[in-house]
Structure 1
């Protein structure tokens, strides 16, 4: 019986961590979509490129990566769990929330935002190639950032709803 309670508590903690992680990442991406990118767009291309290059280096830090990657790992575990417990109340919210984060946030970041960041990292900020790249980067990166912010928020909402279902706690 005690082992069951510990396992149930760990499962609840996993869902809570996932919901909070999705919410934190949604907030980071929302901040970029709502004011950081707009501030960079007001700068001269060379300044904006240099600033974004610095941001892209700085974001790779243990705290952000622990939340970003840790949430992805937790969502993989919840996705598998939701498939195994698909007939329990709330399981669909775990499935949907996990997919929103894994595909719409993590997947979009890897497939779209990271390659755009890598291309930006290779240009000299004050070059004509840099200035040309910046305008397309700004438009494309922002669209994908909006998508991943919305997906992370939807994931946080779905996982939060899953927390409300007692029957899906184990």
Structure 2
């Protein structure tokens, strides 16, 4: 990304920069900030308890939402990066 900023006047630099940022924030960032804490909480839950069942229901809804965000961000980042290299 630093080289992209140094070569700002090159064609398709905006797509490269936005694609890189979208990947870092929308894919890696969401994984670290949202999905990993959900996975960690689920890992220590007792699956046979009422609390475990409640946690699983919340986990499933939250994890699915953030997984969809990651998927859309990954696809958009891949499209932008591909366009920046080929366009």
Q: Provide the TM-score with structure 2 as the length reference.
A: 0.95
Whole-Å Cα distance in 1 between the matches of residues 66 and 73 of structure 2?
Answer: 10
Q: Map Cα deviations across residues 1-45 of structure 1 (whole Å, 9 max, x no partner).
A: xxxxxxxxxxxxxxxxxxxxxxxxxxxxxxxxxxxxxxxxxxxxx
How far apart are residue 129 of structure 1 and its match?
Answer: 1.1
1:146 to 53, 68, 73: 68
2:53 to 126, 131, 143: 131
Alignment match, 1:11:
none
Equivalent residues, number: 87
After the TM superposition, list the runs of 4 or more consecutive aligned residues in structure 1 that deviate by more than 2 angstroms.
none
Whole-Å Cα distance in 2 between the matches of residues 162 and 87 of structure 1?
Answer: 13
- The 5 Å alignment of 1:62-141 reads 79-141=1-63
Task: Please report the RMSD computed on the Cα atoms of aligned residues, expressed in angstroms.
Answer: 0.9
Instruction: Determine which structure has more spread, i.e. the larger CA radius of gyration.
Output: 1
Specify which structure has the bigger relative contact order, considering alpha-carbon pairs within 8 angstroms and separated by 6 or more residues.
Answer: 2
How far apart are residue 108 of structure 1 and its match?
Answer: 0.5
Q: Provide the TM-score with structure 1 as the length reference.
A: 0.50
Gaps of 5+ in 1: 1-78, 166-170
Whole-Å Cα distance in 2 between the matches of residues 84 and 140 of structure 1?
Answer: 39
How far apart are residue 125 of structure 1 and its match?
Answer: 1.4
Question: Which secondary structure does the structure 2 equivalent of 1:87 belong to?
Answer: coil
Whole-Å Cα distance in 2 between the matches of residues 145 and 80 of structure 1?
Answer: 28
Whole-Å Cα distance in 2 between the matches of residues 123 and 108 of structure 1?
Answer: 22
